[in-house]
Amino acid sequence: MEGLPAVPLDLLVAVLLASVRSAAFLMLAPPFANKAVNGQVKALLSVGLGLAVAERLRDSVPAVEPGALITAVVQQAVVGAVMGAFVALVFAAVQAAGDMLDLFGGFQMASAYDPLMQSQTAVFGKLYTWTSTALLVVSGGHLLILQGFLRSYDVLPLDAGLDTGTVARVFTEGVAQLVISAVQIAAPLIAVLFLTDIGLGLLSRVAPALNVFAMSFPVKILITLTLAGFAFSMLPGVVDDMAGTARETVVRLVTPGPPDTGGAAAPAGGGEGR
């Protein structure tokens, strides 16, 4: 049709490949991976991100041939999926902390399948996950995560892939940080429940006639519900730190090199300045 400007082919390919990377990232990275976020919203957002960075990626577009394009699409999908999975790994510490409270507090028997989270979780696991998701959106943490993701296009253009050594190193550090963060978040309440178990054990020695086993469930549930508010007060600072950690994780994934000796702040610490 006459009158319509011609769009360069390399620009279209850049939009396509950048959108594939962002779509794979949004499918796995919180809060966008949540089933409450419509698939059309994710698709439009991924195309919008691709359009935003396509112009500066034109120089790294592969040859416009079927084989090269298929390889590039698969490569960008893998890159985006890996980055999204690592961001999800950072925020998995919150649900892990909630699951630990369910286990020690006696709520694990009330677990049920949650179709939105696509996992078998109990009361505190769901509560911690949904609360952290809400805090992440309200505080603008999702924009911080997208900022780190957009930086990946500058460091890792369309004709490059992830370094396997860097991925393995960041994965090892991420799993270790996941366990440490989950314990840090749930530690105060778990310590109280542990002391409760010790007290009930001593009570069974002092009064053997009492059915301490039957008493332990309501007592621990009552203590968990009573002190849950104190544990909840930690979540805003935790989510703030995790958003910064997620951004740094994405940047470290696409930046081969030795581990950062400075290190990221532990998620259970104070809020990270942005």
Give the integer Cα–Cα distance in Å for 19 and 11: 12
Q: In terms of pLDDT, which residue wins out, 203 or 25?
A: 25
Low-confidence winner among 38-52, 164-178, 179-193, 248-262 (lowest mean pLDDT): 248-262
**Is residue 270's pLDDT more than 70?**
no
Q: What is the mean pLDDT of residues 125-139?
A: 87
Q: 272 with 183: CB under 8 angstroms?
A: no
Beta bridge partners of 113: 120
* CB 159 within 8 Å of CB 68: no
What was the pLDDT predicted at 49?
92
Which pLDDT score is estimated for 261? 43
Q: Which two tokens stand for residue 138?
A: 């309200």
Is the pLDDT at 262 greater than 50, yes or no? no
What rounded mean pLDDT belongs to the chain? 82
pLDDT higher at 37 or 75: 75
Domain residue extents for the chain? 9-249
- Across the range 20-35, mean pLDDT stands at 90
pTM, entire model:
0.79
Distances (CA, A) of 187 to 7, 115, 205, 234: 57, 29, 27, 11
The pLDDT > 90 percentage for the chain reads 13
Q: Is the pLDDT of residue 259 over 60?
A: no
CA 157 to CA 159: how far, in whole Å? 6
Gap between the Cα atoms of 97 and 91, Å rounded: 11
- C-alpha to C-alpha distance for 94 and 59, rounded to whole angstroms: 41
Token representation of residue 65 = 């041939």
261: Cα within 13 Å, side-chain hemisphere? 0
Listing DSSP states for 192-228 in one string gives: HHHHHHHHHHHHHHH-TTS-HHHHHHHHHHHHHHHHH
Q: Which residues are registered as beta bridge partners of 120?
A: 113
AA letter at 179:
V
Residue 188 confidence (pLDDT): 84
